[in-house]
Amino acid sequence: MSDRNRGDFILIFTVAVLVIAGVIMVFSASYYTALNTQGDPYYYLKRDIIWALLGSALMFVASKVSYKTYAHWSTMILGVAIVLLLLVFTPFGVSINGAQRWIGVGGFTIMPGELAKPAVAIFTAKFISADPERIKSFKNGVLPLLVVMGLVAALILKQPNMSTAVTVAGIMICVMMVGGMKIPHLAVLLGGGVGAGGLLMAIEPYRWKRFISFLDPFKDAQGAGFQVVQSLLALGSGGIFGVGIGKSIQKTLYLPEPMNDFIFAIIGEETGYLGCMFFIFLYTIFVWRGIHIAIKAKDLFGTLLAAGLTSMVAIQAVLNIAVVTSSMMPTGVALPFVSWGGNSLAISMGCAGILVNISKNSLRY
């Protein structure tokens, strides 16, 4: 059977390894937290397995549905994502730890910010591929996409969720770059982004406090820098080979919710530098195959969509690891395919399925 018929096996295998390793690490990282808060050490493990199975089904279905279908429904997909983002601020919205990022229906919650990521990738890919020349014009190409980016990012920032807003903007900019956006226009977007980031920190004291703590987390080790300090202690304790799976000290109620945004710290503590490099290697393989799929796609929409979905995973992985290693200011972002969080896992796997479908219909390689 040819690669064209079966899809990109390396990508499928890489995602499978990441998900399986993620389930193991979520169980290890969440054991004491689950026991302390839920009275059941297997609480997060059981739910993570269910979401992994759901994600696997979604990935399988997405790999069978022609990626060209999304082009026809791109505007509606974006519209649905925006409506869901608006519903967050209605009585359907669910607030957790001071952030209102979820919609609750019965006992089930949806995180619209996660749905917005593939939605903007699909819409941007369709917008550019429908008329490839207009992206070279700021007025006709860049500006309309900038309006969409601003609307979606503003709704996400209001939750507040700066990391997801940055990811959405990053996805759209990556697709625009691949689509042929001019360098001066890119410079304007990046400059505007830096200015907007500075403004957001100026008007929200907690963001500025996070920025200051990033520069020297040990200066306020019991306050704003607490999570980063505990993360660095975990990474440092792991050394080259780690202390062993299940033997982390920082997960014993020192590092808050270690199975979420800071799971990479537990990976570093339990599997060491080598374990961290293994995960980084897997993400590098994923990005390599995503770029390969984009290059070999039959049409411009396939190329741009593959670039957008690949950048979605890459941006989140880089942001997560940067936060955990104190290379940037703290902001909540999941480690793709690994962190606890059903919406993120299922949607990431669904996006991987779309990449597989593009590879199935690509030129021979």
Cis, bond preceding 160 (omega within 30 deg of 0): yes
The helix/strand/coil state of 275 is: helix
CB–CB of 341/26 below 8 Å? no
Q: Which is it for strands 108-110 and 93-96: parallel, antiparallel or unpaired? A: unpaired
Per-residue pLDDT reduced to its tens digit, 32-59 = 999 998 899 999 999 999 999 999 999 9
CB–CB of 338/21 below 8 Å? yes
Give the model's confidence band at 290: pLDDT under 50 very low, under 70 low, under 90 confident, else very high.
very high
- Provide φ and ψ at 222, rounded to 5°: -100, 0
The helix/strand/coil state of 261 is: coil
- Provide φ and ψ at 108, rounded to 5°: -105, 135
Per-residue pLDDT reduced to its tens digit, 301-328 = 999 999 999 999 999 999 999 999 988 8
The runs of H, that is alpha helices, within the chain are: 3-6, 9-37, 43-64, 68-72, 74-87, 112-130, 143-157, 162-179, 183-203, 205-215, 226-238, 263-296, 300-324, 342-360
CB–CB of 243/269 below 8 Å? yes
CB–CB of 250/234 below 8 Å? yes
Question: Considering the entire predicted model, what is its pTM?
Answer: 0.92
